[in-house]
Amino acid sequence: MTRTIRKGMLAAACLAVCLMLSGCWDRTELNELAITSATSFDKTDKGWTISYQVIIPSAISSGYGSGASGGGSAPITVYTTSGKTIREAVSRSVLESPRQLYFAHNRVLIVSERAARAGMNAILDVYFRQPEARETVNILIAEGDPSRMLRQLFAMQRISGEGLQSLIAKESRIDSMLPAVKVYEFAMSIVGDARSGVLPEIYIGGSPDVNGTDQLSKTSLTARLKLGRLALFKADQMVGWLNQREALGVSFIADRIKFATFAFPCGNRGQTEQLGTFRITKSSTKLVPRRAGDRLTMDVRIRTEGALEEMNCALDLLDPSVLQQLEARLKEEIENFVDEAWEAVRTQKTDVLGFADAVHRHDPKYWKKLKKNWDEQFAAISMKTDVKVKIERVGVSTKSFKKLEEQDTE
């Protein structure tokens, strides 16, 4: 009897567990999905226009290869929908696509300047509400129609969305001029102490656009996707642009320099046509706020090391005094980057430099007095820079080729 009861209880427990299982009622087969690799957002008077770069699996598996050979089917297709709201526009995709959009593999969001100036809140709100969306997606800004960027093909990358993600990640890692900003990073920056942020620009250089595989068979493309300026945001609204020199200056102040390469005048003062090239291999920045009454001063201490990669001045690099002279010229050039960046962001009253965080950490009580009117306080700050540069390596040749040439003629 006991054994029979145990069997009955076990069967009842199994039945109860089975009843609680959801099963596969909401399953979606792979051949019913339209996997997106990039998405663009544009704002119009009538609402939102959303474009989707969708991967075509059959074109990839049929030997499109790395994209170097043309003539085959394009590995992507791009189509556009519109609506009064973003989700309404996305839902309209069923009117022209037999597959359901799937955003889990989305690599890049491209937002038009018009939409960015109107405000990013709607885009961020929708993105964070979707369970399949990833916060690690990169955001880029396009000055004109952002859907053009989705249609442009890469010569050495099958999927343009992946190519765009690789492009900004590599630039951020190798040259440190434009940061690779992900969705969650941007959201955190505009709700943080400074309530400001930056996003890199993407644009098409050249004409006409390359949107057919037959154009990839040529050795030189008529147009390429390129990274350009840096967009400035106050809260969720874009307020202006920084050029590349100003963007590099922001990276110095905000301690985002991993590696960077730039030219600098190496000759006598006033001789700007003679240039050398310096490669930064190590850099750190420390922000130290100082308070004198109601006046706030920010000390920006930059320490940089690197190597000379090019020298077009007739100099003997074995001479310690020559290296000191070059380090002084490098110091001046970095100070120029920093000053140009400071003037640009102070004019826009957008603290993308980390000053608010530095003040908050240094003096939390004083920060409480400043945060309500931080934009004005930020613009009134006096910034002082302390830059030190050390040339660690000069390369295999200790004398510039111009110096050797002059010695041969003596």
pLDDT digits (tens, 9 = 90+) for 24-40: 545 556 567 888 999 99
pLDDT value at 100 more than 80: yes
Are 275 and 308 a contacting pair, CB within 8 Å? Answer: no
pLDDT of the residue at 296: 94
Q: What is the pLDDT of residues 191-206, one digit of tens each?
A: 999 999 999 999 999 8
Question: What is the mean predicted confidence (pLDDT) over 268-296?
Answer: 89
Question: What is the mean predicted confidence (pLDDT) over 264-284?
Answer: 87
Are 297 and 383 a contacting pair, CB within 8 Å? Answer: yes
Q: What is the pLDDT of residues 176-192, one digit of tens each?
A: 999 999 999 999 999 99
Is the entire prediction scored with pTM above 0.85? yes
pLDDT value at 64 more than 60: no
pLDDT of the residue at 254: 97
Which of the residue ranges 218-232, 238-252, 366-380 would you say has the lowest mean pLDDT? 218-232
The span from the CA of 390 to the CA of 306, in Å, is 7
Which tokens is 115 given?
């939409």
pLDDT value at 128 more than 70: yes
Sign of the Cα torsion 168, 172, 178, 183 reads positive
pLDDT of the residue at 271: 67
Are 131 and 190 a contacting pair, CB within 8 Å? Answer: no
The span from the CA of 290 to the CA of 384, in Å, is 10
For 30-179, where are the alpha helices, taking DSSP H only? 57-59, 86-91, 113-118, 121-129, 147-151, 160-174
pLDDT value at 69 more than 50: no
In this structure, the strands spanning 100-102 and 382-393 are unpaired
Which of the residue ranges 222-226, 265-269, 394-398, 399-403 would you say has the lowest mean pLDDT? 399-403
Q: In terms of pLDDT, which residue wins out, 106 or 398?
A: 106
The span from the CA of 399 to the CA of 276, in Å, is 13
pLDDT value at 66 more than 50: no
Which tokens is 131 given?
């369970």
Q: What is the pLDDT of residues 148-158, one digit of tens each?
A: 999 988 877 77
pLDDT of the residue at 232: 98
Q: What is the pLDDT of residues 205-225, one digit of tens each?
A: 987 776 766 666 666 777 889
With residue 313 as reference, give the H or E element that holds it.
none
Which tokens is 4 given?
């029979």
Rg (CA), the chain: 27
- The model's confidence at residue 68, banded by pLDDT at 50, 70 and 90, is very low
Are 152 and 223 a contacting pair, CB within 8 Å? Answer: yes
Query: What is the overall mean pLDDT for the chain?
Result: 87
Intervals of CATH 3.30.300.210 along the chain: 245-410
pLDDT value at 146 more than 90: yes
The span from the CA of 64 to the CA of 69, in Å, is 7
pLDDT of the residue at 293: 84
Distance of CA 238 to the CA centre of its chain: 15
Which of these, 271, 277, 291, lies nearest to 366 by C-alpha position?
Answer: 291
The span from the CA of 286 to the CA of 355, in Å, is 11
Chosen CATH of 245-410 out of 2.60.40.1220, 3.40.1710.10, 3.10.20.30, 3.30.300.210: 3.30.300.210
- The model's confidence at residue 267, banded by pLDDT at 50, 70 and 90, is confident
